[in-house]
Structure 1
């Protein structure tokens, strides 16, 4: 296969494409534009649908679980669409569809309508993530991708924090108008994102010569035949169980199993958000290839295991409120260190080990770990931790360490060309 990398030049903290020297900046602006609205939406959506629309909490939870399950499946064909039709146009289109999905929420008045709108939202979001990755792969040189992704993550966290603060204002007001303002902000954010992505240059084709038949009429199903990559994706999904640990398990654990005051929950969330925003780029600097990515993930698994052991200590009898808070802060610092290292290694492996002409489909599959962690993760972590107590923390820490250790062999197998499946011709 011909070398498909675009010409590169040294700029700032890494390499970037000479053809699209401003691509990283535009991608950052696009990320920031929709993350602020999303932050406001995330903190207000549950109360909007229960208090304003009138749905029960159980129906809202079930609808979101179904929506994200469908979205995780839709990511592969939507990513394949980016491979076939071009990631720039596809990502802009999916950002526009996401904006339309958000704009449809004020029209929701029943559970079926909510389920339809939420499914469209989740599917478009998942497909957008895959198409964006394919767009980044086409516009940013391989040596700079992890650094750019780290900056995108930092912008995402900062945007979510700003959006959450705006959402807090809407929650304080508690009126229908306040909630509708949040929805309008989120829809406008995705509309601006679509405009910014559409203005980027089209990436060069990933391969020269005739377009493979699988790219003309296939929908990315060949990723399921790539067993090393499938295994890598499953291991990454296990590592992503760290997400409900912060958002769900720790709040329940703190209030039910420790002497720490309730405000500790919000304090730890702020600590995590600020720390990831400040240190994600630094954590990604040493990740430049498969070997360094494997080391980052393996180290992250070990640190996650240590964080789980620290959290288990907070349930010891006689541990007062002050010491409990200090131990929880220590565990949260370890969790941040693990999160930033795992993110950097995961980005490099997921993007770097995807075939150049099928990045969208592969990223659609790899990215399914996020909605899976969002839907199944709460059940897993609450069963282990709230039900199992300190032993559950130790077991979860062992699972993290085992998954991280297994990532190395899986990544090395996925990097061997002889083990990669050929594109499946359409029938």
Structure 2
């Protein structure tokens, strides 16, 4: 009987990274579930101001993610990650006392910057503690842990929503602030990874924005990342406006996705270990996402409700499979094409693709799905296929440049593991 494994099976560094991920995602799951109603009912902000403030905050966080990632590269990712986890917790704590739009915007910007920088610093920390061959497998475990934590945290947030009291909302926010503090403690117990200082060699003086293939990869990947607002926004709107299915089905599909990633992401990433296998995984993901869109489009036909729901579930399962393959492939690509000693900076920039998808997603998905219906679904599926094929072409273009810094990167991996853990044996994981 095959067992589902969430935490990495071996390696103290990988397991502590997973524990830090689990702790912070528990608080985040509760926060994401309750934050909109907290800002509306407790703080007293209008939905328009909440949306505007969060949009501005995440744009700011995306912009500072690159310099914060560069700071992690130069000063050391462990210390930077610890400070940013504490900063994120402090920002959540600030939400407890804000009562107007101005302070809310400041706290939201502070939170988004800390979270964006923390994500980049964690990736740089992972690159220093885990061997190159193991990174994608460990990232798959971290993603599974993240989704499991979000699901459990969402349950706690649901209890607060059921209570509906100011005290319940404040308890959730306090829980999230504490979770980031505990995350910082866990990260502080990881081995030290030496900062790169001033980068030498072929990549010296090159900011990530001057690495045109990597910039193009990030932009093309942002198209594939439209799958995220598709699940949280596009599909619920489609169900509500264009199908006969009950609206609660959207929540059920979200749960299926969250639990599915937690259960099967590790297995989906097993075959991804190089740029070639990564581009193959992304290419397959585009085809599967197209199939998901086609099946979802069928749910808009005049059929019995149970058939409509069955089509939606089938489309969601295909979406899950495509998502996991895309995640595994994009992780491998984003790490392998980052120069030695620049992982934090490059991961900080690669993460901006998600901000682009979340910003453009509402407009694009509403126009395609609600406005155009079935043709919109097929066009969206075509975009996924085109982006998955295009990503492979850009990666092949970027490989010669990456080869120039391959030897320094391998040396850097060995130094990071040796300095942080006393030898390669300490980095064993999946």
Distance, in Å, in 1 between the alignment partners of 2:133 and 2:166 is: 48
| Equivalent of 1:344 in 328, 340, 363 | 328
Structure 1, unaligned stretches of length 5 or more? Answer: 1-12, 422-427
Gap change, CA 1:297 and 1:74, over 3 Å in 2: same
- Residue 204 (structure 1) shift: 4.5
Distance, in Å, in 1 between the alignment partners of 2:8 and 2:32 is: 33
| Equivalent of 2:86 in 87, 96, 99 | 96
Distance, in Å, in 1 between the alignment partners of 2:45 and 2:9 is: 50
- Residue 149 (structure 1) shift: 0.3
Q: Which residue of 2 aligns with 1:84?
A: 74
Structure 2, unaligned stretches of length 5 or more? Answer: 1-6, 406-430
Distance, in Å, in 2 between the alignment partners of 1:412 and 1:123 is: 33
Aligned-residue CA RMSD (Å): 2.0
Distance, in Å, in 1 between the alignment partners of 2:107 and 2:195 is: 34
Q: Which residue of 2 aligns with 1:246?
A: 231
Say whether the 8 Å CA contact 2:8–2:15 is kept in structure 1: no
- Residue 259 (structure 1) shift: 1.0
- Residue 375 (structure 1) shift: 2.1
| Equivalent of 1:312 in 297, 306, 317 | 297
The number of residues matched between the two structures is 398
Q: Which residue of 1 aligns with 2:189?
A: 199
Distance, in Å, in 1 between the alignment partners of 2:317 and 2:243 is: 18
Alignment TM-score, normalising by the size of structure 1: 0.90
Distance, in Å, in 2 between the alignment partners of 1:420 and 1:313 is: 48
- Residue 418 (structure 1) shift: 7.2
Distance, in Å, in 2 between the alignment partners of 1:251 and 1:259 is: 12
Q: Which residue of 2 aligns with 1:269?
A: 254
| 262-271 or 357-366, larger mean C-alpha shift | 262-271
Please tell me whether residue 154 in structure 1 is matched to residue 170 in structure 2: no
Q: Which residue of 2 aligns with 1:255?
A: 240
Distance, in Å, in 1 between the alignment partners of 2:358 and 2:27 is: 19
Deviation string 1:264-296 (CA, Å, 9 cap, x unpaired) is 111111111111111100000000010000000
Gap change, CA 1:222 and 1:405, over 3 Å in 2: same
Partner SS, residue 259 of structure 1: coil
Q: Which runs of 4+ in 1 moved over 6 A?
A: 13-16, 418-421
- Residue 92 (structure 1) shift: 0.8
Q: Which residue of 2 aligns with 1:424?
A: none
| 267-276 or 145-154, larger mean C-alpha shift | 267-276
Q: How do 1:3-402 residues align onto structure 2 when only pairs under 5 Å count?
A: 21-204=11-194, 211-212=198-199, 222-316=207-301, 318-402=302-386
Distance, in Å, in 2 between the alignment partners of 1:163 and 1:382 is: 29
Deviation string 1:355-382 (CA, Å, 9 cap, x unpaired) is 1111110000001112222222122111
Deviation string 1:18-48 (CA, Å, 9 cap, x unpaired) is xxx4100100000000000000000100000
Alignment TM-score, normalising by the size of structure 2: 0.89
